[in-house]
Structure 1
Amino acid sequence: MLFSDDIELFYRLGVAIAIGVIVGVERHWRERDEPGGSRTAGIRTFSLIGMLGGAVGLLEGAVADHGGPTGLVTVGAFIAFAIVFAWFKARESEIDRDFSVTTVIAALLTFLLGTMAVMGEMQVAAAGGVALVAILASREMLHRFLKTLTWPELRSAIVLLGMTFVILPLVPDEPIGPYGGISPAKTWTLVVLLAAISFVGYVAVKALGASRGEVVAGAIGGIVSSTALTVSNARKSLAGNEIRPLAAGAAAAGAVSYLRTAALAAGLAPAIMTSMVPPLVAGAAVFIAAAFLLARGQGGTAEPPPGENPFDLMSVLKLTLLLVVVAFLSRAASAVFGAGGLFIVSGLSGLADVDAVTVTVGGLLKQGLAADTGFLALSAGVIANTVAKAVYAAVLGKSGFAWWLGLASALAIAAGAAIHLAVLAIQASG
């Protein structure tokens, strides 16, 4: 049997009808001022289209259960529906002089999603219905976006998509070289991430203004790599972009990085959670305050200059090379020093990434490493990463950008240290 019970059958059919209803609401609302009988399809018609797709799915299931040919009912019903609906829509278009095919495509998708809700993945069908309505309802926003889209932006988006979906799958994943080597696939992934961070930052600044846009871009970049975001913003500061918004974005990335490390420490190293999480949260709070204050600085409403490239591929490749070299040297140091040089290895690894240090310390704690030693090793990685980002800002960016980020970083480290001492004092008194 296709369905486990009648309740599931009715539930699936209800989802098919609901997909038609939500699509019909959007289509009817868009033509709500039209007189009755002047539109091809509104809320009732689309509700019936969803129900029709679900009914076809039921018939298809019944035929399959009795050993009939699979797919014949669905294909035949879909072709018949497409011909009839397109004919009615064509007549309406001739009268209204409106030759949009959007409603036809929406009707065909509603039919297919209704069939999928009954026959296949019900959750996927429901998500598809929501996505369909979102696309239909965003017509004005998409039209405004296309009117403001420039050729450098379109070209950069195409390049980024090509880097992600064409080149990345072809790059080999096997590491090359000693000490774990360098994986071409992971290296190219870092190229894509750096380009994506720059592109997201550009879009955010264009949509929200420099202050809010850079903070949002920094928070998003911090989820991926706060180090990469900081290096990218340092480069942009040299290109003439406003310093305070860029520093605000780097501070937001630092805050997210601290919070992410706290979450990883809680999950991977619970033995040091109580001593590690409070200082990280305190440091994140300082970074958040710095980002807020810097975002309120002068000149925070500017947009990118017309024709500016969202990301420069050569600059992205150079930044990737820098981060890959640092990561490779960190692994080499780890192989040379071994477990005995845990603090040195943690500090060196923190020059590029804190996640690797967190995972390593979490594994060693499960193998019997003392909690105090694990806390100091992870702290060394966090501090090294924070200081390294300030150094990258000084070397690769303008002095003003480096000064603001360096000050925020120093205050964040100081706040974390103060909270740690307070926790120790509370534990000693208890």
Structure 2
Amino acid sequence: MDLIDLFQRLGLAIAIGAAIGVERHWREREEPDGARIAGIRTFTLIGMTGGLAGLIETSLGSSALPGLVVAAFLIAVSSALLRFALLEAEGQNRFSATTVIAAIAAFALGVLAVLGDMVIASAAGAATVVVLSSREFLHQSIRRLTWPELRSAVLLLAMGFLLLPLIPSQPYGPFGGVSPRSLVVLVIILASISFIGYVAVRLLGPGQGNLVAGAVGGLVSSTATTLAFAQRSVAEGSAAGLAAGAVAAGGVSLIRTGFLVVALAPSLASELLPSLLLAGLAMGGAALLLAGRGGAVVEGENKADPPANPFELGQVVRMALLIAVIAFLARAGSSVFGDRGLYVVSALSALADVDAATVTVSGMLDRVSGPVASHAIGIAVIANMLAKAGYAVVAGSRPFAVIVCVVSAIALGVGLLAPLTTGLL
């Protein structure tokens, strides 16, 4: 490496140590001098020591065993830190290995900045600072989450890293079949999005307002959220606030569908994304206006039962079966009845959930043309919006149903006019 590159790498090692040191020093800023193990100066020196160890390792080349210099420096730094950590624990009766581990990480990232990829070292340093500064949030989250929810996260990791590699990838069944591995991947993606929404509801609590609850509920299931708010509108007699939540759920669902299209079928994004985003933003704006009309939230008004944990085994199995059935029916309908069969299946499946239709059609681009796939997803989105408006009429109060239907009609019109608007622009 030339002299400029050398200074850049050593400077990055120092900067990583300083960034971690700022967080550690701020965390213990109220402590008197000499009461903390390491602050900004010590961590800056640790990062620089890691960089220097990497430079010495490079300069020695093959004259020494590979890694010997770095290992020697690491043992020296770790030994000194452990000694001071033990003294602090004995003096203050406080036991924590975070600072020691952070110091080892600063040293290792300093070495990586000099010997390895600077981008990875920089990103890992930023991630380290984020993790260290998120102590209160992480501790509070652990206190509020229950064991079934944590078990669901473990199930997610197990499915992604243990089960998935063992599942065959070749398709099975008639009409092109269904790939078990692709099915599991899609289930993990959808359930992960829903689980994030579920955790957000648990962390925010039930008293954060119908707007927030509805928006987060749109990540879990906008159809179920609309139905739940409709039932509450009859029981509680309120309309604007609950309608704001239902409309927000619908807007989030449209934007979520847009992200699914971009992730699973990028070739369809240019045709579908403008309509989905504009319609979703229209519903979001309407939700904000309705929330303002809804007034202050009464204590206890939003204490509804949280949505079912979307990553419980039963939920995962049902989601897998739904996607498999819809995929089979869509392929069969497309093979037997042509494009019209695909349109009918998409519309019927979207009466309960638009995700299954979106995922299935996105996976059929090898069998159907781009315009047909776009029309099928568009039909599914329209059918889902009409179904939610129908649920509001059947299960909700009259004012609630009127608001949801009017906003849905406006959003539908905006979405249908979006291609004309973008074409003119």
Q: Taking structure 1 as reference, are residues 161 and 267 closer, same or farther at Cα in structure 2, changes over 3 Å only?
A: closer
Instruction: For 2:170, give the aligned amino acid.
Output: E
1:68 counterpart = 2:64:
yes
Residue from 151, 175, 180 that aligns with 1:184 = 180
Contact 2:197 2:217 in 1 (8 A): yes
Alpha-carbon RMSD: 4.3
1:12 counterpart = 2:9:
yes
Q: Taking structure 1 as reference, are residues 28 and 326 closer, same or farther at Cα in structure 2, changes over 3 Å only?
A: same
Distance (Å, rounded) in 1 between the aligned partners of 2:131 and 2:231: 36
1:39 counterpart = 2:43:
no
1:217 counterpart residue number: 216
1:353 counterpart residue number: 357
Contact 1:346 1:357 in 2 (8 A): no
TM-score for the superposition, normalised by structure 1: 0.76
Distance (Å, rounded) in 1 between the aligned partners of 2:274 and 2:11: 49
Contact 2:13 2:50 in 1 (8 A): yes
1:278 positional shift = 5.9
Higher mean Cα deviation, 42-51 or 139-148? 139-148
1:29 counterpart = 2:26:
yes
Q: Which runs of 5+ in 2 are unaligned?
A: 237-241, 350-355
Contact 1:172 1:185 in 2 (8 A): yes
Instruction: For 1:207, give the aligned amino acid.
Output: L
Contact 1:207 1:213 in 2 (8 A): no
Contact 2:255 2:276 in 1 (8 A): no
Q: Taking structure 1 as reference, are residues 419 and 54 closer, same or farther at Cα in structure 2, changes over 3 Å only?
A: closer
Instruction: For 2:64, give the aligned amino acid.
Output: G
Distance (Å, rounded) in 1 between the aligned partners of 2:152 and 2:301: 23
Contact 1:343 1:380 in 2 (8 A): no
Distance (Å, rounded) in 2 between the aligned partners of 1:390 and 1:94: 67
Distance (Å, rounded) in 2 between the aligned partners of 1:240 and 1:313: 28
1:157 counterpart = 2:163:
no
Q: Taking structure 1 as reference, are residues 419 and 156 closer, same or farther at Cα in structure 2, changes over 3 Å only?
A: closer
Distance (Å, rounded) in 1 between the aligned partners of 2:230 and 2:63: 70
Instruction: For 1:328, give the aligned amino acid.
Output: F
Instruction: For 2:201, give the aligned amino acid.
Output: V
Higher mean Cα deviation, 97-106 or 342-351? 342-351
Q: Taking structure 1 as reference, are residues 310 and 170 closer, same or farther at Cα in structure 2, changes over 3 Å only?
A: same
TM-score for the superposition, normalised by structure 2: 0.77
1:127 counterpart residue number: 123
2:414 counterpart residue number: 415
- Give the alignment of 1:216-295 within 5 angstroms: 216-217=215-216, 221=219, 229-230=221-222, 233=225, 247-248=246-247, 250-257=249-256, 259-260=258-259, 268=267, 279-292=275-288
1:322 counterpart residue number: 322
2:51 counterpart residue number: 54
Contact 2:10 2:51 in 1 (8 A): yes
Contact 1:173 1:184 in 2 (8 A): yes
Residue from 191, 194, 197 that aligns with 1:198 = 194
1:111 counterpart residue number: 107
Contact 2:15 2:44 in 1 (8 A): yes
Instruction: For 1:313, give the aligned amino acid.
Output: L
Contact 1:113 1:129 in 2 (8 A): yes
Task: Count matched residues.
Answer: 400
After superposition, the C-alpha distances for 1:95-141 in whole angstroms (9 at most, x for unaligned) are 22222121111111111111111111211111111111122222222
Contact 1:25 1:42 in 2 (8 A): yes
Q: Taking structure 1 as reference, are residues 235 and 190 closer, same or farther at Cα in structure 2, changes over 3 Å only?
A: farther
Instruction: For 1:139, give the aligned amino acid.
Output: R
Distance (Å, rounded) in 2 between the aligned partners of 1:107 and 1:346: 59
1:145 counterpart = 2:141:
yes
After superposition, the C-alpha distances for 1:238-297 in whole angstroms (9 at most, x for unaligned) are 999997576345412343156558979x97379x86xx7765554334332454466666
Distance (Å, rounded) in 2 between the aligned partners of 1:335 and 1:207: 46
